[in-house]
Amino acid sequence: MGCGGSNTNAQHVTSTNNITLHYFDIYARGEVIRIILHYHGTSFSDHRVQQDKWPALKSSGLAEFGALPCLEIDGYKLVESRAIARYLCRKFGYYPNDPKNAYLVESICDVKEGINNEVLPLLFKKDMDALKKYSTEDMPWWLEKIENRLCQNQNGNGWFVGNSVSLADFELFHFVHDSFLRNEIKGHYGHILTENAPKLKAWAHRFLASSQGLMTYLETRPSRPL
Ligand SMILES: N[C@@H](CCC(=O)N[C@@H](CS)C(=O)NCC(=O)O)C(=O)O
């Protein structure tokens, strides 16, 4: 196929101050975008796409690569969850300029992505036995290593990188909160975090306490069993 079609890369749409997130009503790849926007206190339209509406939306070409999330912002339709998270963090001042600090942020994000690649297929298949096996056998090792990284900065009593919140904190908070701390799940999996990474658990509570907007969102978002 040639390049004759319209350029849909970061497709430009009519400029507007309105922000709309199109994503499913789940806590997976697009949820970190909701977390960043609520933490920052930016109002946006949270379009939770129901499964029966997805085929038509997909055919409409809204999402450049045929998958969600898609964020309409600054006159663009942005896709790819991790690229969108970076965009927002750069825009809001949650991304370091210094290359070494950027490396520290990116390596933490890549660790989360590696875990996601193992866990999300199990969640989508609702393979709870495999999920439990991964959580009890593999996760403790990862949690310990991630906590070690946290402790390399300010003895684990601050944020992941430098003196302020960064993309690394957003990505890891999404992972830690939704895998271990949220109400629907903490009775089953919370002990894995408590036993293997107590400082990481304290960091997650500290992070949450630093944003009223995020606290309110997490208290009021639709409940999900998985
Ligand atoms: N690499 C993409 C993956 C997006 C993705 O797989 N999204 C899923 C939901 S989490 C989706 O849209 N599934 C429906 C489909 O592919 O038709 C990203 O990170 O945004």
Q: Cα(136) to centroid of ligand 1, in Å? A: 27
Ligand 1 pocket, 29 CB below 6 A?
A: yes
Instruction: Give the pLDDT band of residue 146 (cuts 50, 70, 90).
Output: very high
Q: What is the pLDDT of residues 175-184, one digit of tens each?
A: 999 999 999 9
Ligand 1 pocket, 68 CB below 6 A?
A: yes
User: Which position has the higher pLDDT, 224 or 66?
Assistant: 66
How many other C-beta atoms lie within 10 A of the C-beta of residue 183?
Answer: 10
**CA-CA distance, 62 to 70, in Å (whole number)?**
8
Q: What is the pLDDT of residues 30-56, one digit of tens each?
A: 999 999 999 999 999 999 999 999 999
Atom of ligand 1 nearest to the CA of 82: 19
Instruction: Give the pLDDT band of residue 192 (cuts 50, 70, 90).
Output: very high
Q: Whose CA is nearest to atom 11 of ligand 1?
A: 67
| Mean pLDDT value across residues 197-212 | 98
Q: Cα(55) to centroid of ligand 1, in Å? A: 13
Average pLDDT of the residues of the chain: 93
Atom of ligand 1 nearest to the CA of 80: 20
Q: What is the pLDDT of residues 49-75, one digit of tens each?
A: 999 999 999 999 999 999 999 999 999
Instruction: Give the pLDDT band of residue 224 (cuts 50, 70, 90).
Output: confident
Kindly state the tokens that stand for 36.
Answer: 């960043």
Which domains does the chain possess?
Answer: 20-92 (3.40.30.10), 99-220 (1.20.1050.10)
The answer on pLDDT for 226 being more than 80 is no
| Mean pLDDT value across residues 112-129 | 94
Q: What is the pLDDT of residues 68-114, one digit of tens each?
A: 999 999 999 999 999 999 999 999 999 999 999 999 999 999 999 99
Which are the contacts of 220, defined by CB distance < 8 A and separation ≥ 6? none
The answer on pLDDT for 5 being more than 60 is no
The answer on pLDDT for 16 being more than 50 is no
The region of weakest confidence among 1-5, 65-69, 121-125 is 1-5
Ligand 1 pocket, 28 CB below 6 A?
A: yes
Q: Cα(67) to centroid of ligand 1, in Å? A: 4
**CA-CA distance, 122 to 132, in Å (whole number)?**
10
| DSSP string for 154-197 | GGGTS-SSTTS--HHHHHHHHHHIIIIISHHHHHHHHHHHHHH-
pLDDT at site 45 = 98
pLDDT at site 93 = 98
User: Which position has the higher pLDDT, 185 or 6?
Assistant: 185
